[in-house]
Structure 1
Amino acid sequence: MNRLSKMYVKSALLAPLTIVLGLLGAARVEAEPIVKIEYKYYSIYPKTKWDLNNELNQRSPIIFQGKRYRGYTQWLVRWQYQWWSTAQQCQITKVTTNLDVIYTLPRIPPNHGSDPEARRVFNHYLAALFKHEENHKNSGLYGARAIEKALLNLGPFPNCQSLQTKAESTAQQIIQLYRQRDLDYDRQTDHGRKEGIMLENFLR
């Protein structure tokens, strides 16, 4: 089939909350998410640029709802926070978020005997595909930032159990919002086709 890229967030959730009780004062600390990126590749073996389409269609391991796609981005947001409490109230003072990203993308092995034109076309196509996948990664990044900001702005609450319950529900709602962002992005771009990520555009 001629679909070019697909991302569907499978695991953009919800590590258990790590909660540290600290008498840190009421000052709140905001920081940028800690991002870890991993790349996974599947190999294709074209001889010429005209082999690229069949190789991508046949060798991609990315299958969703019975359809095969060429790129995939998986993201996972984790968070932990610290709070300050008194006998009367409990307030979050520090939030740390982590974003783990795994890209799955095609590659031509360096030792494979593709002609130079096949590699040139593939490299241009891959750059466009990766840009699309980066926009999916951004859903996780924006979600992590939103969680950090929202949790810092919670409360104060009369007790820390109430705070914990609200923090959990707030974070889950934000994750769902950015899961939906990914779905909307693929629908609006037809999984990248409306952005020009069609191999035919690079074969000219």
Structure 2
Amino acid sequence: MIRFQHPHLLSLYCLFISNHIYSNVLEKLDHHYYSVTIKPNQSINHAIKQASPIKINGHTFDASTNWTIRWQYDWEQEHSTGECKIVQVSVYLNTIITMPKLVGSHSQGQIRSFKQKNETLYTHEYLHYKKSRQTAYQLNNLLNNAPPASNCTRLEQQVNSMGHKMLQELTNWHQHYDKITQHGEKQYLWEKQNH
């Protein structure tokens, strides 16, 4: 449905010991749920909207994917030339998918309708996660292959610029995806466009 981009956090450490680049992507995916009870003669959509705690800019959403990507790198500096290069990279991806969960007693028809709605919502949210995950790995690869710079200040500027650019591109992708699918309400339009 909707995703939030939290500002990335950047940590920089100075190393003067290694000649190899060590890298990894550390991921954490959590699922949060809010309770939905459907009254007799109440539509599934209305019940979910009424129960949803996901409210952004005056709008209520059925589900959400919140993601954070941050990076950390170590560098070493050649004492004789001042040239600086990355020797270790870590990229962190933290994601929370929030979904509705049906509670209480309901008719088989309500349960079936809710399950169908939830599957569509999760398909939408999971693609937000997959794209963020793909970007985290691309960022890791990009930082690992960053060329040395003439000094460490320049290296820091180059690396941060690359990271910020990738996060902006990811944010743009999420916005486009939500616009096309109307935050998952018309997920089939994305499937149709991308198959």
Alignment TM class, shorter chain as reference: 0.7 to 0.9
Is 2:3–2:67's contact at 8 Å kept on the other side of the alignment? no
- Give the CA deviation at 1:90: 1.2
Q: Which residue of 1 aligns with 2:99?
A: 105
What is the rounded CA distance, in whole Å, between the counterparts of 1:81 and 1:30 in structure 2?
A: 9
Q: Which residue of 1 aligns with 2:5?
A: 10
What is the rounded CA distance, in whole Å, between the counterparts of 1:167 and 1:48 in structure 2?
A: 56
Q: Which aligned pairs between 1:27-106 and structure 2 lie closer than 5 A? A: 27-31=20-24, 33-47=25-39, 50-87=42-79, 88=81, 89-106=83-100
Spell out structure 1 runs of 4+ moving beyond 4 A.
47-50
Larger RCO, structure (CA 8 Å, separation 6 or more): 1
Q: Which residue of 1 aligns with 2:192?
A: none
Long gaps (5+) in structure 2: 190-195
Across the two proteins, how many residue pairs are aligned to each other?
187
What is the rounded CA distance, in whole Å, between the counterparts of 2:12 and 2:147 in structure 1?
A: 18
Name the TM-score, length of structure 1 as normaliser: 0.82
More strand by share: 2
Name the TM-score, length of structure 2 as normaliser: 0.86
Over the aligned positions, Cα root-mean-square deviation in angstroms equals 2.0
Is 2:66–2:96's contact at 8 Å kept on the other side of the alignment? yes
Question: SS at the partner of 2:4?
Answer: coil
Structure 1 residue corresponding to 2:142, chosen from 129, 150, 153: 150
Q: Which residue of 2 aligns with 1:202?
A: none
What is the rounded CA distance, in whole Å, between the counterparts of 2:115 and 2:182 in structure 1?
A: 22
What is the rounded CA distance, in whole Å, between the counterparts of 1:8 and 1:191 in structure 2?
A: 9
Counterpart of 2:162 in structure 1: which amino acid? T
What is the rounded CA distance, in whole Å, between the counterparts of 1:49 and 1:172 in structure 2?
A: 49
* C-alpha distance 49-161 of structure 1, shift in aligned 2 (>3 A): farther
Counterpart of 1:167 in structure 2: which amino acid? V
Q: Percent identity?
A: 25
Q: Which residue of 1 aligns with 2:119?
A: 127
Q: Which residue of 1 aligns with 2:169?
A: 177
Q: Is residue 24 from structure 1 mapped to residue 18 from structure 2 by the alignment?
A: yes
